[in-house]
Chains A and B, each alone.
Chain A
Amino acid sequence: MYLPMRQPVEGGVTLADRLQSRGVSRREFLDFCGRLAVVLGLGELAGPRLAHALQSVQRPSVIWIQLQECTGCVESVLRTVEPTIGNLVLDTVSLDYSHTIMAAAGHQAEAALQKAMKDNAGKYLLIVTGSVPLADGGVYTTIGGRTAKAVLEEAAQGAAAIVAVGACAHWGSVQAARPNPTGAVGVSEVIKDKPVINVTGCPPIGDVVTATVAHFLTFNRLPATDSDGRPLFAYGKRIHDQCPRRAHFDAGQYVEVFDDENARKGWCLYHVGCKGPATFSPCPIFQWNGGTSWPIGAGHPCIGCTERNFWDTMTPFYDRLPDVGGFGVERTVDIFGAALAIGATAGVAAHAVATGIHQARERRKLPVLPDDAGTPPTAPGKEE
């Protein structure tokens, strides 16, 4: 896909100019690009290419719309470390619309949005947080008197690409949990004619969002994804395979009750409900808030928030994943994870949300593994 976004603008102020004027040396800038390249899974050698792309252009326009959501994803991006939100907004992109931090309100805010869409038609990157409530004509979320669906459709029209940030924009998340009273769906259920990438999670790690944006700005295209639209550089690996507590799992050393002796030794959380074996996520690698920790690192089981329909398929959160097929425990969770990957690869059926609801009704009866049509896996209500 060719996106004419990288065209240098005559006489424009570039990132290099801006950084230099702020006393950031070229060496520091290259170091930053090198780290960013590693984050993106491109290898450090891609750093110079990244540097070249980032410093040769005017700031590209980014429009961020917020639909039916909790603002947690915006907060997560506010915590990013590389680049920081301050650098992102002032130096890297031109954030032309952002409900949470923009100065203007009401008509002035809407005018800013209209102008950005017109001036950058076909070129701007659209970030979407929140789901789209489709029930009852869309009355469950309106902005400026218009439905979330109408706002999204208009903003998508001139977008070069769309980054759906968070589980809500991905598939609806908590408001789409059974029985989904407002008919909430993700962006890709509404927008079919544009590339949509799902930086999922509840919320996603802010650095994954900024890394995805940087990838787009650098290479004129969105990063490669799995069949559920999630970027592979972040969601390509299963938590269970990256978990620092994996050795305890392999050795059969488990926390049986929170705060027991085993918990104080940092053993595996599988028996208290960890969904790491069924979850593809960047958490163990990226970690949270500048590498400070991550959920399992702080002693709580993973709740599987990067997986579609996790509010129904991963609950009750403290119940153990299904012991399918009567194999050994380790084999079992590996098979479960592999089956999940196959399910995801097969693609998600168009009616996945409805199917998920249907399956959620059945979920307490028996464990269900994903089928070839990509129906999300369903955890059992009770173990054994």
Chain B
Amino acid sequence: MAATRVVVDPITRIEGHLRIEAQAEAGRITNAWAHSTQFRGIEIIMQGRDPRDAWAFTQRICGVCTVVHAVASCRAVEDALDITIPPNANLIRNLIHGMQFIQDHVIHFYHLHALDWVDVVSALGADPAGTARIARSISPWPNNSETHFRAVQDRLKQFVAGGQLGIFTNGYWGHPAYKLPPEVNLLAVAHYLEALDWQRDVIRVHTIFGGKNPHPNFLVGGMASAINLDGTATINTEKLVDIQGMIRRARTFVEQVYWPDLVAIAGFYKDWAAIGGGVPNFLAVGEFPEGDVRDLERLYFPRGIILDKDLSRVHPYDHKLVKEYITSSWYRYSGGDGAGLHPWEGETEPVYSGPKPPYEYLQDQKKYTWMKAPRYEGKPMQVGPLARMLVAYGSGHAEVKELVGAALSTLNVGPAALFSTLGRTAARGIETVLLARRMEVWFGQLIERIKSGDTRTFDGAKWEPSSWPRSAQGYGYLDAPRGALGHWVQIEDAKISRYQCVVPSTWNCSPRDGEGQLGPYEAALTDNHPLLKPDEPLEILRTIHSFDPCMSCGVHVLDATGAPIVEVKVQ
């Protein structure tokens, strides 16, 4: 029997433009390709700019991960110019980034990932009393009442009866891979709507410290939001109390809604704990510095590498061992396609060699994506929540071990279940719970510092370019909601001469390398992976969404020589 060719483009409910092609045979996926179909060239645009502006440019790489590139960029420039930010500024960045994680993961679960597991149409037939019974058995959340669930169901019924299905049009409703009882489907739909309101509230931490969300403002050397408890236009008690409330409401929702829902839904999909594992290596650069950013001993989520699923040993990470390959990517290297280059020597000349649009297939092409292939000592790596939790687990992180252990025993599965599509989704929930609790610690530390009289948020000693060395280079790491991120900057005569990012989705969505090793998406889709109906690719969405793709983040280029870029003629 010949393999069926499958194309899913656009992959929806993600950030950016992703195309998946696959071949399926007898209900299984036999081969897969991940294609990034957008290129913007932001690193080219960085050249010649003021390094203090870099955070704003790179922030616009992604409006979903709206904090991560800005902070990584500030850290890279601060590393290059040897700037140490005040402890208050670090705590404020942790609070902003922590809330980014929490809000982003909850949105991912309910609004991007849930419809892969939750059949909205089935919720119409649920008994709201039954939903309330189930909900109350797993959570004290006050809205888990029969009245509330009935109101949601009525609203949904009316919506469907109106005949205009809007965003639910052509969903895979009734697909045999949906396993939840109607009552649990209704529970998830109700919380889908509640999460929409919740996320809008808690993200305002960004607005208070950074002026807006998406794309809050940052500052090389610290933060611009001055603290003065007696001021009207500064961080004062009223604003701190507002933030405290958001942190509390974030934790309550995560502990009483997100986490119980995740565990309840996972219980019906335990078979997905053996599906979609893929690449067995995991990389975390570590995040949430609780001292200076250079003090790697004081990261809340530790740094390290797990190889071949071996949790008994965490290997050290050295950014100099990262290399990017372009065997399957639409670029040219001066040293030929076989070369692998560290970001410091990073070299990119975009050369599209795919078929002229409109096209039908890319899988027959040797080069098939805008994504490069980063490898660590030649090995592909998974990055993201699962990588972080595995590295923390292997490092003996007490809170992670406790929560992972509790999750595994609740679901009655062994540690091997972590290496799967379900494992990635569960790990995201685990770290959200931990961060929702940790936010209170950072907030308390900020209050204590203010109490002791320290309100500094900015170090201006190296603000003026006249205080900078003639040439400098820096590395800014950050473990973002979607995984390990690095920004590399080189500065000559107060201007950026090179800029390079290696981004979570570059690792996860990377294509085949010169040795034919598949990237993590591709490997996961071909690891014991079902596809019941090739024309309704629900299972592909499950595994791809378990990575939480962020395509705009993934594609970056830099001119290696720092030579003037060829001007592109516009019209």
Contact = CB atoms under 8 A, between A and B. Distances in A.
Interface stretch (A30-38, A107-115, A213-221, A230-238): A107-115
Contacts of A315: 49-50, 53
A7 interface: no
A184 B570 CA distance: 8
Contact of A108 (B56, B112, B206, B536): B536
B570 A134 contact: yes
A217 B360 CA distance: 38
Given A70-B63, A107-B535, A140 B40 contact: yes
Interface string B179-201: 00000000000000100110111
Given A300-B211, A300-B219, A354 B571 contact: yes
B567 A102 contact: no
A96 interface: yes
Given A78-B199, A266-B228, A316-B49, 9 more contacts: A71-B15, A71-B62, A72-B214, A106-B9, A108-B172, A181-B41, A263-B224, A295-B210, A316-B50
A58 B60 CA distance: 37
A280 interface: no
7 contacts: A70-B15, A100-B112, A244-B233, A288-B213, A300-B225, A318-B50, A354-B570
A178 interface: yes
Contact of A177 (B14, B15, B45, B232): B45
B451 interface: no
Contacts of B569: 183, 354
Interface stretch (A87-95, A323-331, A337-345): A87-95
Contacts of A22: 151, 154-155
A45 interface: no
Contact of B207 (A17, A69, A99, A289): A289
A79 B565 CA distance: 38
A358 to B, nearest CB: 9
A264 B226 contact: yes
Given A72-B215, A139-B357, A292-B208, A300 B224 contact: yes
A367 interface: no
Contact of A181 (B359, B537, B565): B565
Interface size class of B (residues with CB under 8 A): 35 or more
B214 A203 contact: yes
A297 B9 CA distance: 42
Contacts of B341: none
B64 to A, nearest CB: 5
Interface in A78-133: 78-81, 84-86, 89-90, 93-96, 98-112, 115-116, 133
A175 B41 contact: yes
Given A177-B45, A318-B52, A266 B233 contact: yes
Contacts of B64: 70-72, 75
Contacts of A73: 63
A223 interface: no
B569 to A, nearest CB: 8
B37 interface: yes
Contact of B208 (A85, A112, A298): A298
B7 to A, nearest CB: 7
A295 B170 contact: no
Contacts of A136: 352
By CB atoms of chain A within 10 A, which of B13, B196, B211, B541 has the most?
B211
A303 to B, nearest CB: 6
Contacts of B53: 315-318
Contacts of A21: 154-155, 158
A112 B164 CA distance: 11
A353 interface: yes
Interface in A186-226: 189, 202-203, 205
A180 interface: yes
Nearest to B217: A300
Interface in B210-248: 210-217, 219, 221-222, 224-228, 231-234, 242
Q: State the 8 A-B residue pairs at the shortest beta-carbon distance, nearest first.
A: A72-B63, A266-B233, A103-B171, A295-B211, A181-B41, A298-B211, A259-B458, A300-B217
A181 B41 CA distance: 6
B166 interface: yes
B565 A259 contact: no
Contacts of B60: 70, 72, 173-174, 202
B207 A140 contact: no
Interface residues of A, number: 115
Nearest to B221: A258
A33 to B, nearest CB: 20
B358 A146 contact: yes
B372 to A, nearest CB: 15
B167 A145 contact: no
B544 to A, nearest CB: 9
A20 to B, nearest CB: 10
A351 to B, nearest CB: 6
B463 interface: yes
A357 B570 contact: yes
B197 A86 contact: yes
B455 A264 contact: yes
Interface string B343-370: 0000000101010111110000000000
Contacts of A257: 458, 460, 463
B443 to A, nearest CB: 17
B358 A316 contact: no
B72 interface: no
A289 B39 contact: no
Contact of B233 (A102, A205, A297): A297
Given A244-B233, A353-B571, A298 B209 contact: yes
By CB atoms of chain B within 10 A, which of A59, A80, A106, A351 has the most?
A106
